[in-house]
């Protein structure tokens, strides 16, 4: 037994230096410190491959860009927001930005590292989005990309696995049930997700405001999501973008506390 405990402890000593490796960067706008264990290029390359597969699948099913009006509308909004993202992170001007609309009832939208985007028609139709609200969604999603959230999440998951590995091994040896996964999600996963969401809200408000859209639309957007939840349906957007009761108040607080966003909101 002592030998097993000693080996688990030694494994922890090996793991900790690996966790300490990586590069430290700063998120745009907020300046939050980020620790990366993988490069952005790696994430962009893999995202591009995944995006090609998704686009090919929807095209084969006849669900890609099936409504020209929806596609034109989405691309018009993107064409105003992307230049603001590039102004914040000039190197993203080299990205091959791309957006398509999937004709599905799914209420969701996303933007991968490298600027590869997908908007689902269910989001537009079910919530009856105004152009300002659509800009709120796209600004938020683009913010995830320029803030390197996908790269950071992958790095975070790798670090979490390394940190919890010795404890998981010990738990499997001495406990009937391994609680490590649940505990690590509560300690590392949920707070991290909320932090990224709050940051994307903050950057997204800046992007949409600078693009000439009304930041207050972000409030009405999440009020629509909240109404949908109360009606018994949980949009896929909220399953991948966890919300809480304070989110709308936080968005209102950002609008009022940021002079640039507040002034633009007052003029629109």
Over its C-alpha atoms, the chain yields an Rg (Å, rounded) of 21
pLDDT at 3: 43
pLDDT at 22: 67
Tokens 């962009």, residue located: 44
Q: Which residues of the chain have pLDDT under 70?
A: 1-22, 161-192, 231-234, 236, 239-245
- 78 Cβ contact partners less than 8 Å away, ≥ 6 residues apart: 97, 99, 117, 138
Give the H or E element holding residue 159: helix 149-174
- Cα–Cα dist 32/30, whole Å: 5
3-state DSSP call for residue 99?
strand
pLDDT at 113: 95
Catalytic residue among 25, 42, 133, 141: 141
- Cα–Cα dist 41/151, whole Å: 9
pLDDT at 165: 43
pLDDT at 176: 46
Do residues 69 and 88 lie in contact, with contact meaning Cβ atoms separated by under 8 Å?
Answer: no
SS (H, E, C) 109-137: EEECCCCEEEEEHHHHHHHCCCHHHHHHH
pLDDT at 64: 98
pLDDT at 267: 79
Give the H or E element holding residue 23: strand 23-26
- Cα–Cα dist 248/40, whole Å: 31
pLDDT at 23: 87
141 counts as catalytic: yes
pLDDT at 242: 65
Q: Read off the pTM.
A: 0.80
């Amino acid at each position: 037994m002592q030998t097993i405990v000693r080996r688990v402890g030694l494994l922890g000593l090996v793991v900790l230096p690996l966790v300490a490796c990586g590069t430290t960067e700063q998120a745009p706008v907020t300046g939050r410190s980020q620790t990366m264990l993988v490069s952005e290029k790696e994430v962009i390359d893999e995202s591009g491959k995944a995006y090609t597969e998704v686009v090919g699948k929807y095209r084969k099913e006849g669900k890609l860009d099936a409504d020209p009006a929806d596609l034109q509308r989405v691309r018009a909004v993107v064409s105003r927001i992307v230049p603001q993202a590039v102004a914040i992170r000039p190197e993203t001007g080299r990205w091959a930005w791309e957006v398509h609309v999937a004709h599905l009832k799914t209420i969701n939208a996303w933007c991968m590292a490298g600027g590869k985007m997908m908007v689902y028609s269910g989001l537009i139709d079910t919530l009856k989005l105004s152009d300002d609200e659509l800009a709120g969604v796209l600004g938020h999603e683009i913010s995830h990309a320029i803030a390197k959230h996908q790269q950071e999440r992958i790095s975070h998951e790798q670090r979490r696995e390394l940190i919890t590995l010795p404890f998981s091994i010990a738990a499997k040896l001495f406990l009937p049930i391994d609680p490590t996964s649940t505990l690590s999600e509560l300690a590392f996963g949920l707070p991290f997700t909320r932090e990224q969401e709050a940051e994307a809200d903050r950057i997204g408000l800046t992007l949409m405001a600078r693009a000439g859209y009304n930041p207050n639309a972000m409030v009405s957007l999440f009020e629509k999501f909240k109404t949908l939840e109360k009606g018994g349906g949980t949009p896929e957007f909220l399953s991948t973008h966890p919300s809480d009761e304070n989110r709308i108040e936080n968005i209102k607080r950002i609008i009022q506390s940021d002079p640039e966003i507040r002034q633009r909101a007052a003029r629109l």
